[in-house]
Amino acid sequence: MASSADDERMKMLKAFDETKAGVKGLMDSGLLKIPNIFVRPSEELAQESLLTYKNTTQIQVPVIDLSDIQINDDKRKQIVEQVRIASETWGFFQVVNHGIPLTVVDGMIDGVRKFNDQDVVEKKKYYSRDIKRRVRFNSSYDLFTSTTASWKDTLTISFSGPAHPTHPEELPPPCRELAMEYSKHVEILGNSMLGLLSEALGLKTDHLENMECSEGHRLHCNYYPACPEPQLAIGITNHSDAGFLTILLQNQIVTGLQVLHQGQWVDIQPIPGALVINIGDLLQLVSNGKFRSNEHRATTSHIGPRISVACFLSGPLNGDMNKIYGPIEELISEENPRVYRNVLLSEYVAKFLSTSMDKYRALDYYKL
């Protein structure tokens, strides 16, 4: 039976959700303390104070320079090797010289800022939890199921495959052209990364693309307002990404993204113009555990806003939901037996959406 504390929490969550103004709306009302729904449980905070941070200047996820991947075979081989090592160990790396112009990258961040800076009346038009809506704005998809509400607001834009293109008119005017342009570029980079990752698995370059890993993509435009009590809140709780691959663009100045490395949180330092790439659960699964979908989170800060745009390649999400994914046959042998069951995409997505990211990890469910 739900306790009165649970009832009280649910009431507060509903009241917050009904403002449709997100966390920025709260901050704009001149808040000095964060509401209880954003305070992490005391056990979690106690645990946190025991963790020592790695000296972040000494330890960093690999930075891979993608120049010349299309024209120089030797260079490509070296890059594939770097991608393989990073994907097997950290599950995270940053890429530079990735081909997306700086104007497009900066434009995307700027568009997200402009969207969030608008009058609440404009933002409310997009406020929704209906996953069928390709463009929706809310604080987080798992607000009602998570242990702690996330200190962020997110605009989600789904781009499905060529059969059902997303039209510019569906997007909010302040970021319309900028997001369309970014989407076009990030799709090309996504396929190029899938090519490198396929080769890193010893497969033909187009193997992962042919599996429709990049059939659609989804942009999560995250806006983390400055937080008056950052030590008590969390931007995004500890999680791994559910899809195949994530390409994350973060703002140039404020740090926030951290990855778990040998039991400790390591900051992913923003590098101007760089993009963060990380392996998702589905790629760990189809690679039969060779690549690692690593846990990460985003902290909050007195300084803000911090803006990030995560592009998720999650398969044909608006297409063939009856598609089945399992460990790639070529990667299975007597020495490397299958470690995951097959996944029916529709079931996978339904499971993911039925709970919160702090309570569910797809990989645990599908492990043999």
Q: List all residues 6 or more positions away from 10 whose beta carbon is below 8 Å from its beta carbon.
A: 2, 144
- What amino acid is encoded at 147 in this protein? T
C-alpha to C-alpha distance for 248 and 220, rounded to whole angstroms? 9
- Nearest distance, CB of residue 359 and Ni ion, angstroms: 15
Q: Of the two residues 82 and 258, which places its CB atom closer to ligand OGA in the complex? A: 258
Beta bridge partners of 156: 136, 220
Nearest-angstrom CA–CA distance, 4 and 10: 10
Which CB, 155 or 285, lies closer to ligand OGA? Answer: 155
For the chain, the farthest-separated pair of C-alpha atoms sits apart, in whole angstroms, at 65
CA distances from 68 to 33, 76, 95, 97, 193 (A): 50, 7, 13, 9, 14
Would you count residue 281 as binding Ni ion (CB under 5 A)?
no
Site string for ligand OGA, 253-272 (x = CB under 6 A): ---xx---------------
Contact track, Ni ion, 221-250, x by CB under 5 A: --------------------x---------
CA distance 304 to 321: 38
Query: Which of helix, strand or coil describes residue 173?
Result: helix
Among Ni ion, ligand OGA, none, what binds residue 218 when CB lies within 5 to 8 Å by partner kind? none
Q: Compose the 163-202 pattern: x for residues touching ligand OGA by CB under 6 A, - for all others.
A: ----------------------------------------
- 250 interacts with ligand OGA by CB under 6 A: yes
Number of chain residues interacting with ligand OGA (CB under 6 A)? 11
CB 183 within 8 A of CB 219: yes
Nearer to Ni ion, 199 or 241 (CB): 241
217 is written with which tokens? 């993509």
Residue 100 interface partner, choices Ni ion, ligand OGA, none, CB cut-off 5-8 Å depending on type: none
To which residue do tokens 């609440």 refer?
Answer: 120
The site string for ligand OGA over 92-131 (x = CB under 6 A, - otherwise) reads: ----------------------------------------
Query: With respect to Ni ion, which residue has the nearer C-beta, 214 or 250?
Result: 250
Q: Which two tokens stand for residue 353?
A: 């959406």
Q: Which residues does residue 313 pair with via DSSP β-bridges, in sequence order? A: 217, 245
* Residue found under tokens 């808040």: 31
For residue 257, the partner it binds in Ni ion, ligand OGA, none, with Cβ less than 5 to 8 A by kind, is ligand OGA
Binding site for ligand OGA (CB under 6 A): 220, 222, 236, 241, 250, 256-257, 296, 298, 308, 310
Binding site for Ni ion (CB under 5 A): 241
